[in-house]
Amino acid sequence: MSELAIETCGLNYKFGNQKVIDELSLKVEKGSIYGFLGPNGAGKTTTIKVLLNLLQSPRDTVFVFGKDVNTHRIETLRKIGALVEQPAIYGHLTGKQNLYNRCILLGIPRSKALDMLQLVGLKDASDKKAGKYSLGMKQRLGIALALLPDPELLLLDEPTNGLDPNGIIEIRNLMVELTSKHQKTILVSSHLLAEIERIATHVGIINKGKLLFQGTIAELHSFAKPNLTIQVEPVELAAELLAAKGYQIRYGSQQNTLELAYSSKEDSSAINTMLVQSGCLVSSIHMEKTDLEHLFLDITQSN
Amino acid sequence: MNALIISLRSEFYKSKNTLAFWASILLPVFICGAITLGFYSNSDKILRMHYPPEVLWLNFAGSALGVMGMLILPFYVIFMAFSVNNIEHKNDTWKSLFAQPLNKFSIYAAKYLYGLLLIFICLFLFLGLTYLSAHLLHWLIPAQRFDAYNPLEMLSKIYLKLFLSAWSILSLQFVMSLIWGDFLKPMGIGFIGVILGIIAASKGWEYAYLIPYSHPTLALSARKSASVPTLFTQDIYSSLVFAAILFILGYFIVAKKSIK
């Protein structure tokens, strides 16, 4: 039996002539929180829509719990709860009625709707027209709708959009609880790595439709190559000396700093000695690991 | 079948507080109420005409049929087809609807059937209220001899014919409202279509039966006596064929619909 909740095999998708998904091979393990990262327009939402069979994909390219979504559409959709882009809610119905309507479609008792309202903190606003909800409230209602069928797999497209800090923390905690206590699998998309790295067990980074990285958070950390940061005066002379020695250097964000790839302690000492002997004033020299945010930017910008 | 019933229940739940649903009830109540009031307040004038019961009935029922069948019904059907689909366009809910574990045909067919059902309710209420309000008039003014003739069979057939004649417009407008999310395109085309349809049918153009918007006018145009009409005439067959073709076409549009 497949241990993958989601698998796409070299998936391609085009809007007209524009390729929006390019040879995408996602592998989302059961029970994981998969952070699906990429800048706006990278192809995250399109991928989620393909997983939901809202956009037609070629046969044998998209599998959910080992089943092709094209040939087992209803069977796979029964296992999925989804929040795609802005929450799809009926503005003329109240929050409670939106959930009741979904209960009708899913054939589940109405009492479940009340539990969900309680869970996402909308119980007091349950009789208010959903069209009058704030963006954060709509997002919560969207999450409640996604959770309503108690799905094995949750596809959440930027679920914390519009939520206040408390709301963001609550949703994060909820996702962790759903995977740890209820063995759910969650694919959560975001364009903010900082938001994802706190909860995700796995990460996929997509840009311009291409999957640039896929692995665990630990693998992503190890992927980050360290830099040697030198604070030195005069910085121009130091840059010339290092360039003459064949180092690839770049100016740091702070004044009088240079950055180059870290190789070893010995090499760092040799650089320090060379700069001091050449009359430069080195006030600090240290190894710095690229944080994930910068790594994310490096990965997506290099594409 | 189960998915179809579920989808139908959901359609009802979603639209029970909307104008589209209430229009199907309020329209016959207002129109029949106004005609009854008119007959009641002008009873002296009507009594002076000494109409035989059949003609009295024809005048009374014809007032509702004329207003409803020729003009209001086509526009109501256009509005209905728009509303049933617009509820999803407006709220951007097609994506969540098609992400439910229900087959697309049931979702589509339920929307179409719901539109038909509302038109049926509307026309059924017209029939029922016409019949009941005539008897109410007789009860209030016994000299108005609505009791002396029973038009139920004739009226049932006319309204059934009117209902069947509306299928083609509903199907055509339904497809347009499925494709376009905005109000203007389907309503604009529908408006022009109704005007052209009425002109074509009332001028007796021999191919008017090929225009869906002509069908309600054609369905009523043969009514010159109190005889029971023939149900399946050329225009009704044409309406049903249009409806069948457009219903199938609509399904292919839905099945291939990519939610961008």
Q: What is the pLDDT of residues A64-79, one digit of tens each?
A: 999 999 999 999 999 9
Mean pLDDT of A163-174: 85
Query: How do residues A114-132 score in pLDDT, each as one tens digit?
Result: 999 998 889 999 999 999 9
Per the CB < 8 A criterion, the answer to whether B112 and B80 are in contact is no
204-263 in chain A: CB under 8 A from chain B: none
B14 touches chain A (CB under 8 A): yes
B5 touches chain A (CB under 8 A): no
82-141 in chain A: CB under 8 A from chain B: 82, 84-86, 88-93, 97, 100-102, 104-107
Contacts of B14 (CB under 8 A, 6+ apart): A90, A93, A101, B87
Mean pLDDT of A94-103: 96
Residues of A in contact with B9 (CB under 8 A): 104
**What pLDDT is recorded for position A164?**
85
pLDDT surpassing 80 at residue A296: no
Residue in A closest to B107 by C-alpha: A105
Distance from CA of B103 to the nearest CA of A (A): 7
Interface-testing mutation among B7, B91, B253, with chain A (most A C-beta atoms within 10 A)? B91
Residue for token pair 């604009």: B188
pLDDT surpassing 70 at residue B222: no
- More confident of the two residues B5 and A166: B5
CA-to-CA separations, B100 to A111, A117, B44, in angstroms, rounded: 20, 20, 61
Confidence of residue A163 (pLDDT cuts 50, 70, 90): confident
Query: How do residues A211-230 score in pLDDT, each as one tens digit?
Result: 988 999 888 877 777 888 99
**What pLDDT is recorded for position A1?**
46
Mean pLDDT of A267-294: 86
**What pLDDT is recorded for position A275?**
92
Residues of A in contact with B94 (CB under 8 A): 88
Residues of B in contact with A73 (CB under 8 A): 103
How many other CB atoms sit within 10 Å of the CB of residue A71?
A: 10
Option in B87, B91, B99 nearest A77 (CB): B99
Per the CB < 8 A criterion, the answer to whether A157 and A84 are in contact is yes
Please give the structure tokens belonging to residue B47.
Answer: 């009594």
Residues of A in contact with B99 (CB under 8 A): 52-54, 77, 80, 82, 84
**What pLDDT is recorded for position B119?**
94
Contacts of A88 (CB under 8 A, 6+ apart): A142, A145, B91, B92, B93, B94, B95, B96, B97
Residues of B in contact with A145 (CB under 8 A): 96
At what angle are helices B53-65 and B19-41 packed, to 10 degrees?
140
Residue in A closest to B104 by C-alpha: A74
**What pLDDT is recorded for position B241?**
95
| Contact check, Cβ <8 Å, A88/B93 | yes
Which helix (H) or strand (E) is A299 found in, with range? helix A292-302
**What pLDDT is recorded for position A201?**
92
| Contact check, Cβ <8 Å, B6/A80 | no
**What pLDDT is recorded for position A111?**
92
B103 touches chain A (CB under 8 A): yes
Integer Cα distance of A250 and A229 in angstroms: 10
A74 touches chain B (CB under 8 A): yes
Residue for token pair 């040697």: A228
Confidence of residue A192 (pLDDT cuts 50, 70, 90): confident
DSSP state of B147: G
**What pLDDT is recorded for position A106?**
93
Query: How do residues B33-86 score in pLDDT, each as one tens digit?
Result: 999 999 999 888 888 888 888 889 988 998 888 888 777 889 999 999 999 999
pLDDT surpassing 60 at residue B226: no
Mean pLDDT of A244-254: 87
pLDDT surpassing 60 at residue B225: no
131-190 in chain B: CB under 8 A from chain A: none
**What pLDDT is recorded for position B258?**
64
Q: What does the mean pLDDT of chain A come to? A: 89
pLDDT surpassing 60 at residue B223: no
Confidence of residue A61 (pLDDT cuts 50, 70, 90): very high
How many other CB atoms sit within 10 Å of the CB of residue A213?
A: 17
> Phi and psi of B111, rounded to 5°?
-65, -45
| Contact check, Cβ <8 Å, B259/A49 | yes
Residue in A closest to B4 by C-alpha: A105
Per the CB < 8 A criterion, the answer to whether B24 and B126 are in contact is no
Per the CB < 8 A criterion, the answer to whether A223 and A295 are in contact is yes
Residue in B closest to A131 by C-alpha: B91
Confidence of residue A291 (pLDDT cuts 50, 70, 90): low
Contacts of A14 (CB under 8 A, 6+ apart): A20
Integer Cα distance of B151 and B141 in angstroms: 19
Q: What does the mean pLDDT of chain B come to? A: 89
CA-to-CA separations, B75 to B86, B131, B173, B189, in angstroms, rounded: 16, 24, 10, 11
Confidence of residue A271 (pLDDT cuts 50, 70, 90): very high
pLDDT surpassing 80 at residue B229: no
- More confident of the two residues A301 and A128: A128
Mean pLDDT of A109-118: 92
A214-223, A251-260, A293-302, B149-158: range with lowest mean pLDDT: A293-302
| Contact check, Cβ <8 Å, B17/A92 | yes
Option in B93, B99, B260 nearest A90 (CB): B93
Residues of A in contact with B98 (CB under 8 A): 52-54
CA-to-CA separations, A193 to A73, A81, A204, B91, B194, in angstroms, rounded: 31, 23, 11, 30, 56
Structural domains in chain A, sorted by start: 4-217 (3.40.50.300), 224-302 (3.30.70.100)
Residues of A in contact with B90 (CB under 8 A): 91
pLDDT surpassing 80 at residue A277: yes
Query: How do residues B5-28 score in pLDDT, each as one tens digit?
Result: 999 999 999 998 888 899 999 999
**What pLDDT is recorded for position A2?**
58
Residues of B in contact with A92 (CB under 8 A): 17-18
Contacts of B39 (CB under 8 A, 6+ apart): B46, B60, B137, B144
Distance from CA of B174 to the nearest CA of A (A): 20
Residues of B in contact with A146 (CB under 8 A): none
B260 touches chain A (CB under 8 A): yes
Q: How many CB pairs under 8 A join A and B?
A: 73
Integer Cα distance of B242 and B197 in angstroms: 15
Residues of A in contact with B106 (CB under 8 A): none
Beta strands A80-83 and A281-288 are: unpaired
Which helix (H) or strand (E) is A213 found in, with range? strand A210-216
Instruction: Give percent above pLDDT 90 in chain A.
Output: 56
Task: Note the pTM of the prediction, 2 decimals.
Answer: 0.83
Mean pLDDT of A93-97: 95
**What pLDDT is recorded for position B67?**
81
- More confident of the two residues A290 and B126: B126
Query: How do residues B144-156 score in pLDDT, each as one tens digit?
Result: 888 888 888 989 9
Per the CB < 8 A criterion, the answer to whether A285 and A272 are in contact is yes
Distance from CA of B15 to the nearest CA of A (A): 9
Instruction: Give percent above pLDDT 70 in chain B.
Output: 96
* Highest mean pLDDT of the ranges A92-101, A130-139, A186-195, A279-288: A92-101
- Domain residues of chain B, as ranges? 2-255
Interface-testing mutation among B12, B18, B100, B257, with chain A (most A C-beta atoms within 10 A)? B100
Please give the structure tokens belonging to residue A278.
Answer: 């050449």
- More confident of the two residues A162 and B101: B101
B80 by DSSP, 3-state: which? helix
